[in-house]
Amino acid sequence: MAIRSAHRDALRLLFVIEAGSRPLRSPDASDTVAIFKGETRLWAFEFWMRNPDYLAAELLDLFETTTDVAYLHEAEAIFQKEEPDLRRVPMIRYCFGAFDRLDDAMALLRSSDLIRITGIKTFDKIRETDFLLTSRGADFCATCVIQAPVLTWYRDRASLVAKVAGDRSGNALKETQYNRATYAETKLGGIIPPIAAEVAQRLAEMKAKL
């Protein structure tokens, strides 16, 4: 299980926001370059980042539907590197799915002007929370992987999660995650348990059929 720190959480979130953002059509004087739409979508990305076994299950699903062996190889690499044990950062099941309090991490990103937070608000209710990536944030991501190549894992994993997520909304991604019985049956407020053993068995069975 990975060691937690606000700085590590912030770094992971920044790479997630970068990978899952779409470029702004008309960057303005505020120096923002891309936007990540929706807090629900952010938590869905976070869950797959922090639970490699669940991501591997999605990759196996994609292999079954597309027959693209690259997805199988990505899932296999997750287990070869023992990521379900070494990279797992548990999350609790809240009312709308996997959740964690990351106020300190977000504060680090905001105070450094790596991201900005905006959204849609009507009257006194927030309808959507969005995350803006600044040019400084994008430059920081690029600099990180040059100065500390070990951090390329965050960049590459966030890109893989974004590929699996596609253009689906946060609600659609949460629905996909709820399709895993172990996830859906977790009690509210409880830690979502791992599914590494069953996914590893499924992977072995698929490889045996090749």
Q: What is the pTM of this model?
A: 0.94
Residue-level pLDDT, tens digit, the chain, 210 residues: 877 899 999 999 999 999 999 998 765 557 999 999 999 999 999 999 999 999 999 999 999 999 999 999 999 999 999 999 999 999 999 987 899 988 999 999 999 999 999 987 766 666 789 999 999 999 999 999 999 999 999 999 999 999 999 999 999 999 999 999 999 999 999 999 999 999 999 999 999 998
Which of 158, 160, 1 is closest to 83 using CA atoms? Answer: 1
Angle, nearest 10°, between helix axes 196-209 and 69-80? 130
Give the model's pLDDT for residue 144.
96
Helix (H) or strand (E) holding 49: helix 39-50
Phi/psi at 132 (nearest 5 deg)?
-95, 130
Closest CA to 174 of 105, 100, 97: 97
Q: What is the pLDDT of residue 199?
A: 98
Rounded to an integer, what distance in angstroms lies between the CA atom of residue 78 and that of residue 177?
A: 18
| pLDDT at res. 4 | 85
Answer whether 16's CB lies under 8 Å from 164's CB. Answer: no
28 token code pair: 């303005």
Tell me which residue of 52, 51, 56, 45 sits closest to 13, measured CA to CA. Answer: 45
